Structure 1
Amino acid sequence: MSFHGMWAELLPVGRSFASGGYRRFAWTGADAECRAWFREQAESRGLAYEADRNGNQWAWLGDPAAGDAVVTGSHLDSVPDGGAFDGPLGVVSSFAALDELRARGARFTKPLAVVNFGDEEGARFGLACVGSRLTAGHLTVEQAHRLTDADGVTLPKAMEAAGYDPEAIGPDPERLARIGAFVELHVEQGRALDLTGDAVGVAGAIWPHGRWRFDFRGEANHAGTTRLVDRHDPMLSYAETVLAARREAALAGAVATFGKIAVEPNGVNAIPSLVRGWLDSRAADQPTLDTVVTGIEKAAREYAAAHGVDLDVVRESFTPVVEFDHALRDELARILGTGGGDGRDREIRVPVLGTGAGHDAGILSGSIPTAMLFVRNPTGVSHSPAEFAAEDDCVAGVRALADVLEGLACT
């Protein structure tokens, strides 16, 4: 099946008619449809299919036990009302690249696999890259078993309901030891390629990033009878902190976002007793990120004190800077810059990009050599229905991935 045929099959799965975005959350019906689609693609190509102990799906060409395998792929789940390209473009392009290599008559000297990592977005259980984190040992079994969704359903219960054994999850060093390289293709989450005029780029590094929870605790009271001067309103401190986050990020050339909030008692006519906001901040380097978050917390404490509000700040997650394997990154740039391994006479200028978004390739980078390719996104928008990649650019991404895989896994 062609890239376009695969894309058309996946397009309606988990799509919201109201928003036009996708709700492919881990271990739900939409996720099961995506998993069934992956298995069908694997088996229709004569690939050996398996789901590992952590629910990640694999499609193998060659003997998985032979070692030094070249793996490509991404994920199929989404954020709430996310776009069509984040994740699925990498999986569809991987199957399409394999088809391209077979059409070229490529001779594989290493095992090749396409992978769909489970629960990459973390939309349901609040933690990104669960499948790859478990595999790499970055998430313990105990921590995973404590993950709970908004309805109180635990990860083990969700996996069990979907037909997977939650007692089997855990680190998988034997599998990782058989992988010589992992290359993930992804739609760019930004406009760097659009600004340079390039269809495809190579990832250089993932910015350090983290999530912090700010709990502003004040005093609930009647919105209509409590004088302004008598209030201990945590919403004011929170609102001022949101503005401080924008200011600190702009000064440092970083990004900072309060994108999630919970309010108690959450009544129109009630002054809140608690405002809980989640900060996401990212920067090109660790010192800059530290400066931004420290500045935001300092401002938040000053605002809280001014309004008679208590403040607790908890770092819920953090990922340091990820430098992709330099040798593999440079090899990708060399392959693409010399026209790939198919004998076509062309030269391509290959930009190397930093990114503020996390990926499975970043999680695995401490265990195996990893690299990434980005496909141009002219809107610069991601995690939204407006996310987009033009048809010609998607095809260019498939060809670039095929060139890379040929250079890494074929004679």
Structure 2
Amino acid sequence: MTGRNDEGRDGEASFREMWRDLAPLGRHPASGGYRRYAWTGADADCRAWFREQAEARGLVHETDRNGNQWAWLGDPGEGDAVVTGSHLDSVPDGGAFDGPLGIVSAFAALDELRRRGAEFTKPLGIVNFGDEEGARFGLACVGSRLTAGRLTREEAHRLVDAGGTTLPRAMEAAGYDPDAIGPDPERLARIGAFVELHVEQGRSLDRTGDPVGIASAIWPHGRWRYDFRGEANHAGTTLLADRRDPMLPYAETVLAARREAGLAGALATFGKVAVEPNGVNAVPSLVRGWLDSRAADAGTLDAVTAAVERAAREYAGRAGVALDVVRESFTPVVEFQHALRDELARILGAARAEDRGRPVPVLATGAGHDAGILSASVPTAMLFVRNPTGVSHSPAEHATEQDRAAGVAALADVLEGLACR
């Protein structure tokens, strides 16, 4: 099987061209951030872009039953395929790099390998996983969870967006069959290794001065919904002593989450809230908040989330407010396969031998990824590209042109080492 291309496009040059074409899709003119939500027009535009890039390179494009897009060089049915990629969807007003950097770098790395005249001995795949961020339906990594059997069809069909649209209805409106979704073990069995490149969501690489690093693990993390139920009333006539105001225990719980996370060296964030009836002159009847919590180990995470719930119940009781807590998602700690991780370190170490043998940094992350979901089914690894701002899920996230080029070169080296032996 050959990976040759008569055009011999340079990976860095093709990256710039693709980045320019992808940049306007789903970008909000007022915020400057991206609103690429699952099964929307912006999502369809991104999917069309992916297909165009695949077909322009002579790759076979397909969309699986769960809405994930694949582009293949060689026959995946041969097995032991090497796959790379990420996602194109975004959080509300997210940045340009989280997800798309991995997909653009994947196509650019293929271009670079063709320029080098690489001869592929294994099938190579590039994937765009659907609904990784979970911005619309509240659950992250829906496409990869379905594929890996970590989310059932029945559970997926119960997902509803803020406007009351169910996942099945959204898929149908976008031209997909929601009844076809579900585990895809046959597809995963064809994959010998999955490597995801991602912009770093933090400043570890910026502090060490390295443009590229390797992931060691993903912290355990989850999302919990807190429903504080009180009594709606008039804000101008109801005495403070007569109120059952759910906003008060909610506010105290937000502070408790910050306190408990700080004491434990963990992370806890209430970043989304919904209020009913949501009137300026009304005491709320319901305050619903979502807690996102992460820690270096499961024991610490359990301790933090248990402490937050205890505090919330105490505050709710004082205010005469009922409280329901529902764990909506949970991902245990992910230790990327050591053999594959060490192979990436060996490949990249050899590629940067001129740097006095300085090892490529290995670092853990608190952010979830499709690679983490797939890790129980196939050998997975991740590469991080330096983010000098340290900011993510915001238009301020960034990677310099020089570091983007370093990421493409590193991914090309890894793919050559894994798929061209």
Please classify the TM superposition score into its range, dividing by the shorter chain length. Answer: over 0.9
Distance 1:156 1:224 in 2: 43
User: Match of 1:286?
Assistant: 298
Distance 1:216 1:182 in 2: 42
SS at 1:387 equivalent: coil
Matched-pair contact (CA < 8 Å) for 1:339–1:348:
no
User: Match of 2:314?
Assistant: 302
User: Match of 2:212?
Assistant: 200
1:79 to 67, 91, 95: 91
2:75 matches 1:68: no
Which string of whole-angstrom CA distances, capped at 9 and with x for unpartnered residues, describes residues 200-259 of structure 1? Answer: 110111100111111112222221222222222211111111111110000111110011
User: Match of 2:337?
Assistant: 325
Distance 1:194 1:345 in 2: 21
Matched-pair contact (CA < 8 Å) for 1:189–1:381:
yes
SS at 1:147 equivalent: coil
Distance 2:190 2:109 in 1: 22
Which one-letter code corresponds to 1:366 in the other structure?
A
Distance 2:33 2:406 in 1: 25
SS at 1:338 equivalent: helix
SS at 1:363 equivalent: helix
Superposed displacement of residue 345, structure 1: 4.7
User: Match of 1:369?
Assistant: 379
2:237 matches 1:213: no
Distance 2:272 2:43 in 1: 24
User: Match of 1:132?
Assistant: 144
Superposed displacement of residue 151, structure 1: 2.3
SS at 1:381 equivalent: coil
Query: What percent identity do the matched residue pairs reach?
Result: 81
Superposed displacement of residue 7, structure 1: 0.4
The answer to which of 179-188 and 303-312 deviates more is: 303-312
Superposed displacement of residue 321, structure 1: 0.5
TM-score normalised by L of structure 1: 0.97
For structure 1, the 5+ residue unaligned runs are: none
Matched-pair contact (CA < 8 Å) for 1:338–1:348:
no
Distance 1:222 1:55 in 2: 47
2:392 to 382, 394, 409: 382
Superposed displacement of residue 192, structure 1: 1.0
2:268 matches 1:256: yes
Which one-letter code corresponds to 1:380 in the other structure?
G
Question: Aligned Cα RMSD in Å?
Answer: 1.3
Superposed displacement of residue 348, structure 1: 4.4
Distance 1:231 1:366 in 2: 49
Which string of whole-angstrom CA distances, capped at 9 and with x for unpartnered residues, describes residues 384-410 of structure 1? Answer: 111111110010000000111111011
The answer to which of 352-361 and 219-228 deviates more is: 219-228
Q: How many residues align?
A: 408
SS at 1:85 equivalent: coil
2:123 matches 1:119: no
TM-score normalised by L of structure 2: 0.94
Distance 2:315 2:174 in 1: 46
For structure 2, the 5+ residue unaligned runs are: 1-8
User: Match of 2:22?
Assistant: 10
Distance 1:307 1:345 in 2: 65
SS at 1:213 equivalent: strand
SS at 2:351 equivalent: coil
1:228 to 225, 240, 256: 240
Distance 2:383 2:18 in 1: 20
Superposed displacement of residue 170, structure 1: 1.2
1:178 to 186, 190, 193: 190
Distance 2:226 2:162 in 1: 19
User: Match of 1:51?
Assistant: 63
Distance 2:298 2:311 in 1: 20
Superposed displacement of residue 294, structure 1: 1.1
Which one-letter code corresponds to 1:79 in the other structure?
V
Matched-pair contact (CA < 8 Å) for 1:336–1:348:
no
Which one-letter code corresponds to 2:201 in the other structure?
Q
Which string of whole-angstrom CA distances, capped at 9 and with x for unpartnered residues, describes residues 145-192 of structure 1? Answer: 222222222222222222222222111111100100000000011111
User: Match of 2:6?
Assistant: none
1:406 to 410, 416, 419: 416
Q: Quick one: structure 1 residues 166 and 232, their matched pair in 2 at CA, closer, same or farther if it must change by over 3 Å? A: closer
Which string of whole-angstrom CA distances, capped at 9 and with x for unpartnered residues, describes residues 85-111 of structure 1? Answer: 000000000000011111111111111
Matched-pair contact (CA < 8 Å) for 1:248–1:292:
yes
Which one-letter code corresponds to 2:330 in the other structure?
F
Which one-letter code corresponds to 2:359 in the other structure?
R
User: Match of 1:335?
Assistant: 347
Distance 2:227 2:171 in 1: 31
User: Match of 1:31?
Assistant: 43
Which one-letter code corresponds to 2:59 in the other structure?
L
User: Match of 2:5?
Assistant: none
SS at 1:158 equivalent: helix
Which string of whole-angstrom CA distances, capped at 9 and with x for unpartnered residues, describes residues 246-275 of structure 1? Answer: 100001111100111111221111111221
